[in-house]
């Protein structure tokens, strides 16, 4: 999982930056605009991964609660 994320970050870095010096903060050719765009894209991917996990968890809990409700309704009707 972490290897995939590392590959994804490397891919995005190569798409945005032309040179290694552009994302080195201590360099004189540091490009703040590209760095901000890079950080926004990486944080967006991270947020999407987290929200997808939360949505899947909510869906599973919803299914379990519906099953419990159906069992309780069947018990009440008897």
> Cβ–Cβ contacts within 10 Å for residue 38, how many?
19
Instruction: Print the domain residue range for 72.
Output: 2-77
**Span 60-73, average pLDDT:** 92
> What pLDDT shows up at residue 6?
86
Q: What is the pLDDT of residue 78?
A: 66
Task: Dig out the tokens for 70 from the structure.
Answer: 């159906």
- Whole-model pTM: value is 0.69
Q: For residue 22, give every residue at least 6 positions away whose Cβ sits within 8 Å of its Cβ, in sequence order, or none.
A: 29, 30, 31, 34, 35
**Residue 11: closest CA among 33, 35, 31, 38:** 38
Number of structural domains (the chain) is 1
| Contact between 33 and 40 (Cβ < 8 Å) | no
The mean pLDDT value for 49-77 works out to: 92
pLDDT tens digits, 2-56: 788 888 888 888 888 888 888 888 888 888 899 999 999 989 988 999 999 999 9
């Amino acid at each position: 999982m972490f290897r995939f994320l590392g590959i994804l970050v490397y891919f995005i870095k190569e798409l945005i930056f032309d040179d290694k010096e552009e994302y080195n903060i201590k360099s004189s050719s540091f490009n703040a605009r590209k760095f901000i765009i890079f950080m926004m894209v990486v944080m967006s991917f991270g947020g999407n991964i987290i929200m997808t996990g939360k949505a899947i968890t909510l869906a599973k809990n919803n299914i379990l609660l519906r099953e419990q409700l159906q069992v309780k309704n069947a018990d009440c009707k008897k």
